[in-house]
Amino acid sequence: MEPKPDQSGQFSMWEMIRDNSGLLPAFAQTPHLGLAVVDRDMRYRVVNPALVDMTGIPAEARLGKTIREALGRVADAIEPSFHRVLSTGQPQWNLQVSATLPTKSITGTWNGNLFPIKDTSGLVKQVAMLVVDMTAEKRLQQKEFDLNRLETRCRQLESLLQFGTIPIPGSQDEELVPMISSLVKRFLDPKFATLALYDETIHRLRVYSLDSPLAEELLDEFVGADRVMAIRDAACGPAFLLGQTLVLHNNELVEKNLPLFKRLREEGIQSFCFLPLITSKGAFGGLNLGSSDPSRFDEQEVDLLKMLGLQIAGALDNAAAHREVAQLSKKLEQEKLYLQDEIKSAHNFEEIIGESGALNSVLEQAGTVAPSDATVLILGETGTGKELVARAIHRMSSRKDSTFIKMNCAAIPTGLLESELFGHEKGAFTGAVNQKIGRLELADKGTLFLDEVGEIPLELQPKLLRVLQDQEFERLGGNRTIKVSLRVIAATNRDLAKSVAANQFRSDLFYRLHVFPVRVPALRERAHDIPVLVRYFVQKFSRRMGKQIETIPTEAMDALTRWTWPGNVRELENFIERAVILSRGKTLIVPIAELRPAFEAAPHDYTLESMERQHILRVLRETGGVIAGVRGAAARLGMKRTTLQSRMQKLGITREDYQN
């Protein structure tokens, strides 16, 4: 198919050349238009003086020689176009080549148009190339680019000076966010911009969007409505912990193999920079900046960004100092918070809520096994918080500074489970277009949490057993043994011993996982914790929904405490979220009608004697059946050991009633 004419007159030029090679001498004499004619063997047959002047390569150095012999590696950029014209018989417009020729000390830029020259039978016997030297124009464009960049640098420095004169508010970091957002926009105007500030009270990062619709969208997708995330879960986590500036361009974003970077690429982000905000007091957080310009964040701009980071970190430091002075007047409250933080810091159970004996027993077991590298098997019903216990064990271990990789074995299709766990090589199976690193490799030097481990297929279990025993494996489709150092924590709500008996789970893998079992109690076994959990969830969802709920009716709390909670803490959390949604004032509206059938079905259970019996049983379960001693059931109930034993005998309470 022949080209259509355009404003440059390329159609008429093609019409003149395609059937009449006799016109070539006319072009050969044009002073500013280079001409070269190449035969089917890619050998030069015609080179005009203008092309010699443009390139500095004498005609005798080309005539009779191939393109590659005359131009060397530059041939890689133009030979394919010559072959295409020879095979299709169609011209090619606007072939632009930038290269440093052996005869030139600087990089030149040339624009060429290629035309087929046919014989009388219509066979393409030669290809003509008309060349225009664009080097001067390119240099001018580069100068304009450099001037624009210089102007940008001046504006950035001016923004820094202006920010240094703005009074800094002394209350909350949130008040600084609009000021920082305005500065970043004037300084850089990125397409993606977020501010991550470290909150030492919860040991997590609070993330804010800096006047960026794209950032707002991705925060909803990857962080959630509370805008809080663990450092280890943040894409910039390692750079934040090390206090290092991270710059990624194009393919480097893909190589990181993180969902956030993948989404950034999909949204047109071609350059990314994480800038830590550090003062002598430590790291305050960092700026995440993304640009659609692949040339952003060069060395000079990063140096200026570091100056920007110093200004922002200094402002955050000043704000923190003001807050510290203001808080001195609340010494008693501060001491209380300090003690609470000390308790949390000592046990690393920030996310685990409760005070019952049954829960404390689990936490003590977690604290005992955490310093070792022993495999832990966490048992318990769904919704009891097995993952929280696993994370707590990781945080208290020597691997706490490495990654915690989670894998839900029940949520991944059986056909993909092996690839997700071990990874695969390119071409290992249909659709494996790239190499994939598995969860085992990602967890190297850290902890791998296998949730719902009982769902792993039988054929995959021997491979997992090898990893547990030898700390080595091969990727799917590969033959190279990969050594790792990782700790495995597994969890299941199934009775694995029964699965072994039914030949649904390998006994050797079961014994290897069962090194240190930890049973997480069901919520009905720790009813003492229900009020604490209710208040925690009410506060959590009230803050998220912008409500202020101050009162929980006694009747509602009693009903919540009596409910058996078959879905455990997860069910309680969802129920309280629904209650907060229903509440319009300062009092929590609990849909008690949804709970009543469970305890109204047996009205005789509400006799004083029956309630006393249930209360004693609950305390006995929480203390693990221990009656005497400071932590025993008698002390918890405020009575003597002999009195409690007498009451137990009268109420018919036996050891079988409170031991599981």
Give 330-359 as a DSSP string.
GHHHHHHHHHHHHHHHHHT-TT-----HHH
Reply yes or no on whether the pLDDT at 600 is more than 60.
Answer: no
Tokens of 490: 């597994």
Position 141 pLDDT exceeds 70? no
Nearest CA to 483 out of 492, 475, 493, 473 is that of 473
Rg (CA), the chain: 36
Alpha carbon of 26 to those of 13, 33, 35, 43: distances in Å? 12, 11, 10, 21
Q: Which amino acid is at 439?
A: R
Asked whether the predicted pLDDT for residue 488 surpasses 60, the reply is: yes
- Measure Cα distances from 86 to 71, 75, 89, 168, 172 in Å: 20, 16, 6, 70, 70
Is it the case that residue 596 has pLDDT exceeding 60? no
For the structural domain made of 146-325, what CATH number should be given? 3.30.450.40
At residue 482, the pLDDT reads 87
Contact in structure between 65 and 44 (CB atoms under 8 Å): yes
**Mean per-residue pLDDT for 504-511?**
92
**Interatomic CA distance for residues 227 and 177, integer angstroms:** 14
Note the pLDDT tens digit of each residue in 73-104.
Answer: 888 888 999 999 999 988 888 888 888 777 77
pLDDT of residue 178: 82
When mean pLDDT is compared across 247-261, 336-350, 507-521, the lowest value belongs to: 336-350
| Domain ranges within the chain, ordered by starting residue | 10-133, 146-325, 367-519, 523-601, 605-658
Q: What is the pLDDT at residue 599?
A: 43
- Half-sphere exposure (Cβ direction) of 451: Cα atoms closer than 13 Å: 19
Contact 452, 408 (CB under 8 A): yes
pLDDT of residue 653: 85
pLDDT at 50 over 70: yes
Q: What is the pLDDT of residue 379?
A: 93
What is the dihedral sign for C-alpha 509, 510, 516, 517?
Answer: positive
Highest mean pLDDT among 279-288, 551-560, 599-608: 551-560
Contacts from 121-124 at CB under 8 Å and sequence distance 24+? 122/89, 124/40, 124/85, 124/86, 124/89
The mean pLDDT value for 48-66 works out to 87
Supply the pLDDT for residue 173.
63
- Does 427 have pLDDT greater than 60? yes
DSSP state of 442: H
Is pLDDT of 250 > 70? Answer: yes
Between 16 and 505, the more confident residue is: 505
What pLDDT shows up at residue 462? 92
Instruction: List the strands of the sheet with 487-492, edge to edge.
Output: 404-408, 447-451, 487-492, 376-379, 516-519
- CATH fold for the domain made of 523-601: Helicase, Ruva Protein; domain 3 (1.10.8)
pLDDT at 213 over 90: no
- How many angstroms separate the first and last alpha carbons of the chain? 84
pLDDT of residue 153: 58
* CATH annotation of 10-133: 3.30.450.20
Lowest mean pLDDT among 18-27, 580-589, 636-645: 18-27
Task: Tell me the pLDDT of the chain averaged across its residues.
Answer: 80
Res. 509 pLDDT band, cuts 50 70 90: very high
Q: Any idea how long the chain is?
A: 660
Pick among 2.10.10.90, 3.10.129.10, 3.40.50.300, 3.90.1150.10: CATH of 367-519: 3.40.50.300
Q: Which residues pair with 377 in a beta bridge?
A: 490, 517
pTM of the model: 0.41
pLDDT of residue 229 exceeding 80: yes
Same fold, 367-519 and 523-601: no
In whole angstroms, what separates CA 99 from the centre of its chain? 40
pLDDT at 603 > cutoff 50: no
Predicted local distance difference test score (pLDDT) of residue 638: 77
pLDDT tens digit string along 543-589? 999 989 988 888 888 888 888 888 888 889 989 998 999 888 888 98
137 close to 144: Cβ distance less than 8 angstroms? no
Find tokens 């030979």 and name the residue.
79
Better-scored residue on pLDDT, 238 or 390: 390
Q: Which of 98-112, 433-447, 501-515 has the highest mean pLDDT?
A: 501-515
With cut-offs at 50, 70 and 90, classify the pLDDT of residue 120. confident
The pLDDT of residue 375 is above 90:
yes
* 104 or 273, greater pLDDT: 273
Q: Encoding tokens for residue 433? A: 């277009």
- Nearest C-alpha neighbor of 129 from the set 47, 9, 12, 29: 47
So what's the pLDDT on residue 175? Answer: 72
pLDDT for 139 equals 67
- Where do we find the tokens 């009656």? 627
Instruction: For residue range 439-456, list pLDDT tens digits in order.
Output: 888 888 889 999 999 989
Residue 612 reports pLDDT greater than 80: no
- Nearest CA-CA partner of 545 in 575, 584, 571: 584
Q: What is the pLDDT of residue 150?
A: 57
The C-alpha atoms of residue 575 and residue 534 are separated, in whole angstroms, by 10
Q: Name the region of 81 (left: φ>0; alpha: ψ -120 to 50; beta: rest).
A: alpha
- Euclidean distance between CA atoms 422 and 463, whole angstroms: 9
Task: Give every CB contact of residue 78 below 8 A, 6+ residues apart in sequence.
Answer: 67, 71, 95, 97, 112
Q: What is residue 5's predicted lDDT score, i.e. its pLDDT?
A: 43
Average pLDDT score over residue span 30-44: 85
List the single range of 58-62, 351-355, 384-388 with lowest mean pLDDT. Answer: 351-355
pLDDT at 518 over 90: yes
* Alpha-helix residue ranges (DSSP H) falling in 213-276: 213-222, 237-242, 251-255, 259-266
